[in-house]
Chain A
Amino acid sequence: MRKIFDFHGGIHPPENKHQSLQRPIRDAGIPPRLVLPLSQHIGAPASPVVAVGERVLKGQLIAEALGFVSVPVHAPTSGTIVAIEDRLVAHPSGLLAPCIVIATDGLDEWTSLVAPPDYRDMTTRELLARIRDAGIAGMGGAGFPTAVKLTTKPGSAVATLIINGTECEPYITADDILMRECPDRIVEGVNILRQLLQPGEILIGVEDNKPEAIAALRAAATGSAIEVVSFPTKYPSGGEKQLIELLTGEQVPSGGLPLDVGVICQNIGSVVAIADAVVRGQPLISRITTVTGEAVAEPGNFSVLLGTPMNYLLAQAGYQPGRNRRLVMGGPMMGFTVPDASVPIVKTTNCLLAPSEAELPVPPPAQACIRCGMCAQACPASLLPQQLFWFAQAREFDKLEQHNLFDCIECGACSWACPSNIPLVQYYRASKAEILQLRREHAKAEQSRMRFEARQARIAQEEAAREAKRAARKLAAEQRAQTAAAGGEGVEDPIQAAIDRAKAKKAAQQVVATRATTETGERDKLEKAVVTTRARLDTASSKLEQARAEGSDLVDALQLGVDKTRAKLEAAELALQAFVDAGQTAPQQAVPTDAASVAIARAVAARAADAALDPVEKARAQLAGLEQRLAKTRARLAASRSKGEEEKIIGILVSTEAALEEKVSAARAQLNGKGDT
Chain B
Amino acid sequence: MATLLRVTSPHAHGPVSTPKVMQKVLLATVPGIIVLTHFFGFGTLVNLVWACIVALACEALALWLRRRPIGFYLRDYSALVTATLLAIALPPYAPWWLIAVGVACAILLAKHIYGGLGYNPFNPAMAGYVILLISFPLQMTAWAPPRGLGQLPSLVEALQACFWPAGFDGITMATPLDLMKQNNSLLVADLYAQTPQFGRWAGLGWEWANLAFLAGGIWLLYQRVFSWHAPLAMLASLSLLAAIFYDGGSSASGGSPLFHLLSGATMFGAFFIVTDPVTSAVSVRGRLIYGAMVGVLVYTIRVRGNYPDAVAFAVLVMNFAAPFIDNYTQPRTYGHQPGKGGG
Residues of chain A having any CB pair with chain B under 8 Å: 5-8, 11, 13-14, 92, 94, 170, 241, 245, 249-256, 261, 321, 324-328, 330, 332-341, 353, 355, 360, 362-363, 365, 367-374, 376-377, 380-384, 386-387, 403-404, 407, 410, 412, 415-421, 423, 425-426, 429
- Contact between A384 and B283, CB atoms less than 8 A apart: yes
Q: For residue A371, which residues in chain B have a CB less than 8 angstroms away from its CB?
A: 118, 277-278, 282
Which residues from chain B contact A335 at a C-beta distance below 8 Å?
9, 11
A368 touches B13 (CB 8 A): no
A382 touches B4 (CB 8 A): no
In the assembled complex, the Cα of A395 lies from the Cα of B8 at a distance in Å of 19
Determine chain B's interface SS by DSSP, over half rule: loop
Q: How far is the CA of A360 from the CA of B12 in the complex (A)?
A: 6
Q: What is the CA–CA distance of A515 and B9 in the complex, to the nearest angstrom? A: 71
Q: Are B333 and A368 in contact (CB under 8 A)?
A: no
- The answer to whether B117 has its CB under 8 Å from any CB of chain A is yes
List, in ascending order, chain A residues with CB within 8 A of B335's CB: 241, 251-256, 381, 407
Partner of B4, one of A13, A340, A377, A381: A340
Identify 12 new A-B residue pairs, CB closer than 8 A, beyond the known A335-B11, A365-B72: A330-B9, A332-B10, A332-B11, A336-B8, A337-B4, A337-B5, A367-B76, A370-B277, A384-B331, A416-B12, A419-B17, A429-B8
Cβ-neighbour of B16 out of A321, A374, A404 (below 8 A): A374
B12 touches A376 (CB 8 A): no
Residues of chain A contacted by B342 (CB below 8 angstroms) = 5-6, 249
State whether A5 touches B341 (Cβ < 8 A).
Answer: yes
B333 A383 Cβ-Cβ under 8 A: yes
Provide 30 A-B residue pairs closer than 8 Å at the C-beta atoms, listed in order of the A residue. Answer: A11-B14, A13-B14, A94-B6, A170-B12, A241-B335, A245-B334, A251-B338, A251-B343, A253-B335, A254-B334, A254-B335, A324-B4, A326-B11, A337-B7, A337-B11, A367-B76, A368-B73, A368-B117, A370-B78, A370-B117, A371-B118, A372-B226, A373-B287, A381-B333, A382-B334, A384-B330, A412-B9, A415-B13, A417-B16, A423-B8
| Chain A residue with Cβ nearest B280 | A371
A interface majority secondary structure = loop
Smallest CB gap from A325: residue in B: B5
The answer to whether A334 and B9 touch across the interface, beta carbons within 8 angstroms, is yes
Of all chain B residues, the one with the shortest Cβ separation from A322 is B2
Chain B residues within an 8 Å CB radius of A252: 334-335
Residue of B nearest to A170 (CB): B12
Judge whether B199 is part of the interface by a CB distance below 8 angstroms: no
- B20: chain A residues at CB < 8 Å are 419
Enumerate chain B residues within 8 angstroms of A326, measured Cβ to Cβ: 4-7, 11
Q: Are A332 and B338 in contact (CB under 8 A)?
A: no
Closest to A382 in B: B331
Contacts of A249 in B (CB 8 A): 341-342
Pick from A5, A8, A328, A425: contact of B334, CB below 8 A: A8
A362→B5 contact, CB < 8 A: yes
| Chain A residues closer than 8 Å to B277, beta-carbon distance | 370-373
Task: Please give, as numbers and ranges, the residues of chain A lying within 8 Å of B118 by CB-CB distance.
Answer: 368-371
Given A325-B5, A360-B12, does the pair A368, B76 have CB atoms closer than 8 Å? yes
Q: Are B227 and A377 in contact (CB under 8 A)?
A: yes
Judging by beta carbons under 8 Å apart, are B334 and A251 in contact?
yes
- Asked whether B309 is an interface residue with its Cβ less than 8 Å from the other chain, the reply is no
Known A-B contacts A8-B343, A419-B17; the reply to A368 vs B5 at CB < 8 A is no
**Binary contact track B1-40/A, C-beta < 8 Å → 1, others 0:** 1101111111111101111110000000000000000000
Residues of chain B contacted by A380 (CB below 8 angstroms): 334
Chain B's closest residue to A414 (CB) is B10
Is B336 among interface residues, defined by CB-CB distance under 8 A?
A: yes
Q: Considering only CB atoms and an 8 Å cut-off, how many residues of chain B contact the other chain?
A: 46
Q: How far is the CA of A666 from the CA of B278 in the complex (A)?
A: 52
Q: Tell me if B332 is interfacial: C-beta within 8 Å of chain A.
A: yes
CB distance B341 to A370 under 8 Å? Answer: no
B326 beta carbon closer than 8 Å to chain A: yes
One of A5, A8, A404 near B336 (C-beta < 8 A): A404
- Assess whether B283 is in contact with A92, with CB atoms less than 8 Å apart: no
Choose from A7, A254, A387, A412 the contact partner of B10 (Cβ within 8 Å): A412
Chain B 47-74 interface 0/1 with A at a Cβ cutoff of 8 Å (1 = within): 0000000000000000000000000110
B165 interfacial by beta-carbon distance below 8 Å: no
Task: Please indicate the chain A residues that have their CB under 8 angstroms from the CB of B7 in the complex.
Answer: 326, 337, 362-363
Q: Which residues of B contact A170 (CB under 8 A)?
A: 12
A372's closest neighbor in chain B, by CB?
B277
Q: A353 to chain B: which residues have CB within 8 Å?
A: 11
CB-CB under 8 A from A5, the residues of chain B are 341-342
CB neighbours (8 Å) of A417 from chain B are 14, 16
- Asked if B170 is an interface residue, CB under 8 A from chain A, the answer is no
CB distance from A294 to the nearest CB of B (A): 13
Residues of A within 8 A of B4 (CB): 324-327, 337-341
Cross-interface CB contact of B343 among A261, A363, A382, A412, cutoff 8 Å: A382
The answer to whether A7 touches B343 (Cβ under 8 A) is yes
Most buried by B among A252, A324, A382, A426: A382
Contact A339 B10 (CB under 8 A): no
Q: Does B249 contact A (CB under 8 A)?
A: no
Interface string of B251-289 (1 = CB under 8 A from A): 000000000000000000000000001100011000100
Residues of B contacting A92 with CB < 8 Å? 6, 8
The answer to whether B336 and A425 have CB atoms under 8 Å apart is no
Interface centre among B18, B277, B331 (most CB of A within 10 A): B18
Question: Which B300-334 residues sit within 8 Å CB-CB of chain A?
Answer: 326, 330-334
- Closest CB in chain A relative to B151 CB, distance in Å: 43
| With A94-B6, A373-B277, A429-B8: A384-B282 Cβ-Cβ less than 8 Å | yes
Give CA–CA (A324, B7) in the complex, Å. Answer: 14
Contact B1 A321 (CB under 8 A): yes
When distances are taken between beta carbons in the complex, the residues of chain A under 8 Å from B341 are 5, 245, 249-251
B10 lies within 8 A of A341 (CB): no
What's the nearest-Cβ distance from chain B to residue A204, in Å?
A: 22
Shortest Cβ gap from B216 to chain A (Å): 18
Specify which of B2, B11, B117, B119 is in contact with A328 (CB 8 Å cutoff). B11
A674 to chain B, nearest CB (A): 37
- Which residues of A have CB within 8 Å of B282? 371, 373, 376, 384, 386-387
Pairwise interchain contact A419-B18, C-beta atoms closer than 8 A: yes
Given the contacts A371-B277, A372-B21, A387-B282, A339 and B9 also touching, CB distance less than 8 Å: no
- Residues B116 and A333 in contact, CB atoms below 8 Å apart: no
CB-CB under 8 A for A387 and B326, given A245-B341, A416-B12: yes
